[in-house]
Structure 1
Amino acid sequence: MKINRFIFVTGGVVSSLGKGLVASSIGALLQAYGFKIHIRKLDPYLNIDAGTMNPAQHGEVFVTNDGAETDLDLGYYERFTGIQTTKHDNITTGKVYDQLLKKERRGDYLGKTVQVIPHVTDLIKSFIINSRENLDFLICEVGGTVGDIESQPFLEAIRQISYHLGKQRVILIHLTLVPYLTAAQDLKTKPTQHSVRELNFAGIQPDIILCRSEQKISQHQKEKIANLCNVPLSNVIPAPDVNYIYELPVLYNQYGLDTQILEHFGLNLPKPYLTAWTDLVQNTIGEEITISIVGKYTEFPDTYKSLVEALHHGAICNNVMVKINWINSREQFAEAQLQGSNAILVPGGFGDHGIEGKISTINYARINNIPFLGICLGMQLAVIEFAHDVIKLDDVHSEEFYICQNPIIKLADNQSVDLGGTMRLGEYPCNLKAGSKIAEIYNMTTILERHRHRYIINKNYQDILEQGGMLCSGISEDGTCIEVIELKDHPWFIGVQFHPEFKSRPFTPHPIFASFVKAAIQLNNIIRV
């Protein structure tokens, strides 16, 4: 194992500045030079993982192939770099202390007093440095905000790595906010100064400062930041808002971020090959289609981050643009909210809040022949709606929500109702029925997709569903789980138990989303550019 160089990305002033996008963009730029890279996330919160966290506060839970429930930033890493992340690429304070206390109970510390330094920091350093392959660069994003109590052990671990390896192998990039005060009609650099000072208190001096701002930063303001934060002027780099996140690799290249990183390491290389990224941004034009997403966290778009990106990927390959019509399923259902929708999507979720609104939405899509995609819970509710409204089963619902006569959705075998890492997680194979729409979409009959669920369709109802016109067109390899359903007499109505959005990439759109967008175009006679 060998990692040649380390890049650490921290953030200051406020959270949600876009550190994950910075790390991902740096990764994409270094790949364009031909370097072998990997990205990891250090999360200071005390949860073991993101699995039980409120999506309205923390955003979506991204699932890796090996079944880790992780921070949504790992989705950015995969989409920008094409690298598959694993459970080894996201660590939390909770996971560190869980390992620490297990080691202490086993007597691994031989009677020593267990302390934050060196025991906690040693575990963090081990996580950062551990790699199963040779890498030119390892990029580590530190979650949270500099100055938080929770982040102190992570910053200390980074300080130690930087001290032992030296600046010739380590660079620290600090993303900070330069706010614009309307009353003063001026950008203010003082928050950035305080943020860098917090880093200095931790024994760390940033090498590059990225300045996130809504307004253009003047030369004078950059000089002020450079002078007061002890950073060369060339290393004070703008990080402006963009309309489209895939502009960032090209934009940061234009601002010289990659050049300054390579210069820091004494590398002098020709310009990177960024044609694919440039073409991708230029292809984001065309007629606009409206896709309604009906969920219970629609006021928090980060809850559905991978889903939205997958729709955009599907739009790019169809030469159209997607407008999202967000509909809160917890509010009273009204058909007027769905009028004008070229397609309707009901995403995954947990709990009984808003399920009646989702079922009404599914009924509307089915009756009006509107392209429909149901994911995880969205698929399960499509089965419930069909069983109730078409097959006319009495008292039919899901065991997750009600005790009923016909539990058409049931707890999967070997599943527990306990929370936290107990679901059917990660990548599983699925066999598709030859001749089905889903097999046509994939152009194959065996697929691998990522899952996050504990309830499944009750297979005792498969025959009655298919007799009524709902084809169970995808079955798990072990035969226990119905993975895909589709309607025989509907132009495009598909439900999937897995989460295809986790595998969609800007350069390789997921076939389900590409087909879903294409159906919305064709059925609404939309002219593509």
Structure 2
Amino acid sequence: MPRFIFITGGVVSSLGKGLGAAALAALLQARGYKVRLRKLDPYLNVDPGTMSPTQHGEVFVTDDGAETDLDLGHYERFTGVHAKQSDNVTAGRIYSDVLAKERRGDYLGATIQVIPHVTDAIKNFVLSNIDDEDFILCEIGGTVGDIESLPFLEAIRQLGNQLGREQTCFLHVTLLPYIAAAGELKTKPTQHSVKELQSVGIQPDILLCRTEHDLPAEQRGKIGLFCNIRESAVILARDVSNIYQVPLAYHDEGLDREVMRHFGLEDIAPPLERWKTICDTVANPEGEVTIAIVGKYTSLQDSYKSLGEALTHGGIANGVKVNVEWIDSELFEQEGAAVESLHHVSGILVPGGFGERGSTGKINAIQFARENDIPYFGICFGMQMAVLETARNLCGMTGAGSSEFGETEIPLVGLMTEWTSGNAKEQRSAEDDLGGTMRLGAYECLLTEGSLASQLYGEHLINERHRHRYEVNIAYKDALAASGMVMSGLSPDGGLPEIVERPDHPFFVAVQFHPELKSKPFDPHPLFTGFVAASMEKSRLV
């Protein structure tokens, strides 16, 4: 049976529970332990797939096709352990499953209640699909005191009793605000947060206290005294300049040492050279490069969390700092808007998105990149818009469009109604629900020998994650090729275009999948590495 670490948060949201869980898992990995991370989300959506990116952030997609919380991206980037559908659950899915069982009569006429039926379902999720992991880290979303969090807190309280102290650890993340007028950190919010957690029967074993300042020994002792924990278990979580410093910072503060002590495990200093090398590269770049992300959800950068990190990884691979300019694509649709304002950037990236709003601005940005030999990288929707740009401006297909936007004269991009997933055939229609009805998860792609994509990957068959409903029509392959755009990556059956590129351009690659979801600081994705390298070359030529 693995050991379980339950991570909760208090005082305010966005304290970094997910990042803390990922960093702790990386430290446990460095000590030789096998880890798995899970996220329990208390909101009532079945999954984040239909939630607005500007409200919830990006949707992270797993190999097995789950649409999950963005924290699972942190988990993968810090540990390299591929997340699964069984690693993220919401209150919506829990209640949906419980009610489905009630309708089927599985409860044999019993009165269905939060305790035990909902809490049992949560516990079953936490304990399911475990292999030979040494540690399972479970992050509970939301903030202690939220009504919707109560069933999850009750479930982990019960697990703590059932599994015993030797198998469970409760880590609580809180805030130590600094009051400038008083010139000191205030511990009272942390005390109240712990009191709230204790009121539901959970005594935290370790406190991870987020702050911008040093914590005096006197206040550390005060927190330990009033929160009923050892002083050494009050771990300071200072802000750092980049997120990949977090494992090193938490190790220096003794977080992993305190976890070893809690479980009675031998405390041997872990090798952390991987993280030291990454942080040294980030802190001491050999140059800089500026890349514009022309997107639809730029008002909240968490909408493209994995994308921003993947560009950082591409910079790490090339030893440079990547400066990202986030540009709302609608700016390039307004009267007198100057796409020429992109002249100073060394690369242009158009990411995924849904809907017609902002699409013309993206096409204008792509045209500018093509005509001015600026490296271009298109992802998902960014590939579809690149194909439309070529069709309209070079192929003479002025009526080319996407059926996602409504009826179109030339449906160059259309709704997928059928595709192969493993040995099964998936079918969809325009009338299906939005949630979970896309082409989701990892699919294989065959690369054309000698293409730029094959050179970057260094292999012929790749496997990448998808999240889309619409697809470029393979019937226009020859027409596009006649105008310089080749389909250099196809599904194994040859029916679905996966990658397009322009051999006549310094770097023009667009893909239907989401390569950013697989990039890691210690294993940068080859497409991002190539894109940043091409952007560096462009900056040298300017």
Check whether TM > 0.5. yes
Q: TM-score, normalised by structure 1?
A: 0.97
1:142 is aligned to 140
Partner amino acid, structure 1, of 2:487? C
2:293 is aligned to 293
SS at match of 2:323: strand
Which range is displaced more, 335-344 or 246-255?
A: 335-344
SS at match of 2:385: helix
2:327 is aligned to 327
Match of 1:169 among 157, 167, 170: 167
SS at match of 2:537: helix
1:369 is aligned to 373
1:352 is aligned to 356
Q: TM-score, normalised by structure 2?
A: 0.95
Match of 1:416 among 429, 432, 442: 429
Match of 1:484 among 472, 488, 499: 499
Which range is displaced more, 422-431 or 219-228?
A: 219-228
Which range is displaced more, 213-222 or 276-285?
A: 213-222
Which range is displaced more, 79-88 or 177-186?
A: 177-186
Given the superposition, is the C-alpha separation of residues 526 and 119 from structure 1 closer, same or farther in structure 2, using an over 3 Å criterion? farther
Q: Deviations over 1:67-109 (max 9, x none)?
A: 0000000011111011001100001001101110111111111
Mapping 1:202-213, distance limit 5 Å: 202-213=200-211
SS at match of 1:519: helix
Match of 1:131 among 129, 132, 139: 129
Aligned-pair identity in percent equals 54
Q: Deviations over 1:152-211 (max 9, x none)?
A: 000001100111222111110000111122333322211111111110111001011111
Mapping 1:179-194, distance limit 5 Å: 179-194=177-192
SS at match of 2:391: helix
Mapping 1:93-492, distance limit 5 Å: 93-284=91-282, 285-286=284-285, 287-331=287-331, 332=334, 333-414=337-418, 415-417=428-430, 418-492=433-507
Contact 1:394 1:405 in 2 (8 A): no
1:84 is aligned to 82
Q: Distance in 2 between matches of 1:230 and 1:357?
A: 57
TM-fit CA distance, 1:123: 0.7
Q: Distance in 2 between matches of 1:198 and 1:132?
A: 31
Contact 2:289 2:539 in 1 (8 A): no
Partner amino acid, structure 2, of 1:516? F
* CA RMSD after TM alignment: 1.3
TM-fit CA distance, 1:281: 0.6
1:503 is aligned to 518
SS at match of 2:404: coil
Partner amino acid, structure 1, of 2:451? S
Q: Deviations over 1:411-442 (max 9, x none)?
A: 11233333000000000001111111111111
Q: Distance in 1 between matches of 2:32 and 2:46?
A: 35
Contact 1:59 1:304 in 2 (8 A): yes
Which range is displaced more, 360-369 or 207-216?
A: 207-216
Match of 1:59 among 53, 57, 60: 57
TM-fit CA distance, 1:377: 0.3
Q: Deviations over 1:192-237 (max 9, x none)?
A: 1111111011100101111111222222221221121111111111
Q: Deviations over 1:431-474 (max 9, x none)?
A: 11111111111111111000000100011211100111100111
Contact 1:210 1:238 in 2 (8 A): yes
Which range is displaced more, 80-89 or 331-340?
A: 331-340
Q: Distance in 2 between matches of 1:316 and 1:211?
A: 29
Q: Distance in 1 between matches of 2:130 and 2:172?
A: 28
TM-fit CA distance, 1:329: 1.1
Does residue 1:518 correspond to 2:530, yes or no?
no
Partner amino acid, structure 2, of 1:181? I
Gaps in structure 1 of 5+ consecutive residues: none
Partner amino acid, structure 2, of 1:309? E
TM-fit CA distance, 1:526: 8.0
2:423 is aligned to none
Partner amino acid, structure 1, of 2:227? C
Q: Distance in 1 between matches of 2:57 and 2:155?
A: 27
Contact 1:416 1:423 in 2 (8 A): no
SS at match of 2:535: helix
Q: Distance in 2 between matches of 1:162 and 1:462?
A: 58
SS at match of 2:478: helix
Which range is displaced more, 494-503 or 264-273?
A: 264-273
Partner amino acid, structure 2, of 1:486? E
Q: Deviations over 1:87-146 (max 9, x none)?
A: 000010011011101111111111111111111111100110113412211100000111
Q: Distance in 2 between matches of 1:188 and 1:299?
A: 32
Contact 2:261 2:267 in 1 (8 A): no
Which range is displaced more, 128-137 or 492-501?
A: 128-137
2:509 is aligned to 494
Contact 1:174 1:209 in 2 (8 A): yes
Given the superposition, is the C-alpha separation of residues 219 and 336 from structure 1 closer, same or farther in structure 2, using an over 3 Å criterion? farther
Contact 2:414 2:473 in 1 (8 A): yes
TM-fit CA distance, 1:485: 0.4
Contact 1:327 1:337 in 2 (8 A): no
Q: Distance in 2 between matches of 1:148 and 1:18?
A: 17
Q: Distance in 2 between matches of 1:337 and 1:33?
A: 49
Q: Distance in 2 between matches of 1:209 and 1:132?
A: 27
SS at match of 2:401: strand
Partner amino acid, structure 1, of 2:163? L
Contact 2:349 2:376 in 1 (8 A): yes
Q: Distance in 1 between matches of 2:413 and 2:492?
A: 19
Partner amino acid, structure 2, of 1:298? T
TM-fit CA distance, 1:405: 1.1
Q: Distance in 1 between matches of 2:369 and 2:140?
A: 43
Contact 2:209 2:234 in 1 (8 A): yes
Q: Distance in 1 between matches of 2:466 and 2:107?
A: 38
